[in-house]
Amino acid sequence: MEVLKRYRVVAVVGASRNLEKDAHTVPEYLKEHGYTVIPINPGVREILGEKAYPSLFDVPEGLAKEIQVVDVFRPSEELPRVAEQVVVFSRRFGVSPVFWAQLGLESEEAKEILSKNDIRYVMNACMRATYRMGEFGHDLA
């Protein structure tokens, strides 16, 4: 599956306003390259000129149904909780976004949760680096 080539609407869980964090620079890069970025962060109202939502469940239904990738910038120990949220989100909105855990993030428990619920995932990979290298065919589990 060519994730970055086919899917252009990305919810970024843990998006940051801090200009030096990857959780800011990666979504910024994606936005500059034509992706729709939906920041998810309970502590802020706006990131990259886009309305930020406290959680996936706070994204308005019409926009939520467009989400194709959930890009996660949270510690690895939080991935199972985020995976469970993506499962509920998928059922609630009738969508099946790809779960993407950024470089350095991986969780066997999250993989199991996602696999049992037929949600495709990428672990331990940076969307920006993947895009830059032209690896549009990143392996999905």
DSSP letter for 53, please. B
Domain ranges of the chain: 3-133
CATH no. for 3-133: 3.40.50.720
Residuewise pLDDT in 10s, the chain (141 residues): 478 889 999 999 999 999 999 999 999 999 999 999 999 999 999 999 999 999 999 999 999 999 999 999 999 999 999 999 999 999 999 999 999 999 999 999 999 999 999 999 999 999 998 888 775 455 555
The structure tokens listed for 90 are: 């998928």
Beta strands in 8-123, from DSSP E residues, in sequence order: 9-13, 36-40, 46-47, 50-51, 69-72, 98-101, 121-122
Q: Cα–Cα distances in Å, from 125 out to 4, 35, 62, 103?
A: 12, 18, 29, 4
Q: Residue 103: name the closest of 21, 13, 22, 28 by CA.
A: 22
> What pLDDT shows up at residue 9?
98
What is the reported pTM?
Answer: 0.92
Helix (H, G, I), strand (E, B) or coil at 138: coil
> What pLDDT shows up at residue 135?
52
